[in-house]
Chains A and B, each alone.
Chain A
Amino acid sequence: MNIFLHELKSCFKSIIIWACSMAALAVMYILIFKGLGNDIAEFQSLMDSLPEVVKKLLSVYVASLSTLEGFYSFVFVYVALCGAIQAMNLGVSIISKEVREKTADFLLTKPVSRAAIMTSKIAAAFVSLVITNIIYLAVTLLATLTVKTDFSVKSVILISITLLFIQLIFMALGVIVAVLAGKVRSVIAVSLSTVFGFFIVNMFGSIIGEETVRYITPFKYFDYGYIVKNNAYEMPYIIVGAAFVIAAVTASYLVYTRKDVHAV
């Protein structure tokens, strides 16, 4: 419990900053939607007139941008991108911290097993992400209250919650990367390059329209057009995501408990 609290405390500031930035992004778009008001139809026709490739590149899945949930799903991709960076950053940094700050000799000689250290750290990262999502969701929903037109609250919530799923996947990826890497010199370099890598695959996947690409990048696990239309997630992708998280975390435990911790 003490490790958990210690870790949570040390990343608390960054949780607040990330959560508020992402919420601000969402709020900004919601306000733009509100500002567009009746002109939204024109905006929709503008988007419709774009070439097919550009539309796919911008992830305009949704037939109707004129509803709030449609518009929100269009901009949410960028919130998810930020969220993925935050989560991967968190996963890499929380695990590689002992090596980066050279405190392994301190923590790992305490009367606590490595598995327990891992559990505390992953739990702290998980709770951090949950807090992030609570803040994000609360602020975003609050902002939608200002919008007068009718929209599906359920869709907005369902879309928003995919942030947590995507973050969990990237956190798990960050954890396993940190465990496998001998020494992570720059956390942000690792997480930015990985996340953007997946994001680019996501964009090109959209252009190609290849179904298999959807399994490769977590950004594609959630088709927002589908969510808006059906008010539901696509189960196969949830299962793939969950399976990846479980596999990555399990592997991290196995490696971490057997790893030699060298002097600095």
Chain B
Amino acid sequence: MNVIEINNLTKTYGKSRGIIDVSFNVEEGEVFGFIGPNGAGKSTTIRTLLSLIYPTAGSAKIFGADCIKNAPEIAKEVGYLPSEVFYYDKMKVIDVLKYSASFYKKDCSKRIEDLAEIMDLDLKKRVDDLSFGNKKKVGIVQALLHEPRLIILDEPTSGLDPLMQQKFFDLLEEENKKGATIFMSSHVLSEVQRMCTRVAIIKEGRIIKLETMSNLTENNYKKFKLEINSGIDKNHFQINGVSNLELKGNIISFLYKGNVNTILKRITEIDLKNVWIEEPSLEEIFMHYYEKEA
């Protein structure tokens, strides 16, 4: 079952681009990553899903219901963590969380306590006394306190120290095991790589790639690094499937996607000192997507 269905979603702000013709689905139980640089349209897509902004064309469905028309109904089962969190400054943390909980028709007090303990959050402080990271923790508790079926995270780890990131991801993994679907946007690729089963890559408002994480990192690409004995023409590796080609001194490196026999034949034609063949990090693949048309 698809938890999120996005069909040809377009949002323009006057003449400036927001997102263009975005379509993809997120299945139930998935951890779905949404990656792209700043200004690519990640937040625009997420804000449309949450009916904070209205699409210019196309539509999106959550739990099979239109995300604009049925927004209040859908919101009952959605937890959202914005990239920058703001709460009513003069309220205490516990009051903000209680206010948040009062929108859902269930008792969340136990859950608030549990989450606050895991995230090491002081409930008695006033919001304006909190640091950025601690506000983020309030956001996390606020997003999870009603045990939503869909968790939407926009740049979730900004402001959290590594220990808290770890705890947060453990928390998300637990929710995911219990059946929650997670949709997260990020430009921190390592966290996407770690958490997600599938990713969509967005660039300049368009989805340019939709792939499972394993395909993206394992099957398709190999990272080659060769140390050569004698000088070489860079063009030797200018063949189909090669990207990010770089020549530094007598080290040549590139990413390769395609039949490994072809590339190995090429490699054997030259005099090698050393060779490394690795799985590329998502970062490298990602940069490759962006640089291709730049």
Contacts and interface: CB of A to CB of B under 8 A. Distances in A.
Interface of A: 2, 6, 10, 101-106, 108-113, 116, 258, 260-264
A261 B44 CA distance: 11
Contact of B52 (A2, A101, A103, A260): A260
B75 A263 contact: no
Interface of B: 43, 47, 50-54, 71-76, 78, 80, 82-90, 99-100, 102-104, 142
Contacts of B104: 111
A263 B43 contact: yes
Given A113-B72, A261-B52, A262-B53, A105 B100 contact: no
A10 B91 CA distance: 9
Contacts of B51: 108
Contacts, number: 66
B103 A110 contact: yes
A103 B76 contact: no
20 contacts: A101-B86, A103-B86, A103-B87, A105-B52, A105-B82, A106-B86, A106-B100, A108-B50, A108-B51, A108-B52, A109-B80, A111-B72, A111-B74, A111-B75, A112-B72, A113-B72, A116-B72, A260-B54, A263-B84, A264-B84
Given A106-B100, A261-B47, A264-B84, A101 B72 contact: no
A111 B86 contact: no
Looking at chain A's contact residues, the main secondary structure is loop
A101 B47 CA distance: 18
Contacts of A116: 72
Contact of B88 (A101, A112, A261, A262): A101
A263 B73 contact: no
Contacts of B102: 2
Given A105-B52, A261-B52, A110 B86 contact: no
A214 to B, nearest CB: 41
Given A105-B80, A112-B75, 10 more contacts: A6-B99, A103-B86, A106-B142, A108-B51, A109-B52, A110-B103, A260-B53, A261-B47, A261-B53, A264-B84
Contacts of A10: 88, 90
A6 B142 CA distance: 17
Nearest to A116: B72
Contacts of A103: 86-88
Shortest Cβ-Cβ A-B pairs, 4 listed:
A102-B86, A111-B75, A260-B53, A2-B102
A263 B80 CA distance: 14
A69 to B, nearest CB: 42
B31 to A, nearest CB: 20
A263 B99 CA distance: 22
Which of A109, A113, A116, A263 has most B Cβ within 10 Å? A109
A104 B80 CA distance: 12
A110 B75 contact: yes
Given A101-B86, A106-B86, A263 B47 contact: yes
Nearest to B152: A109
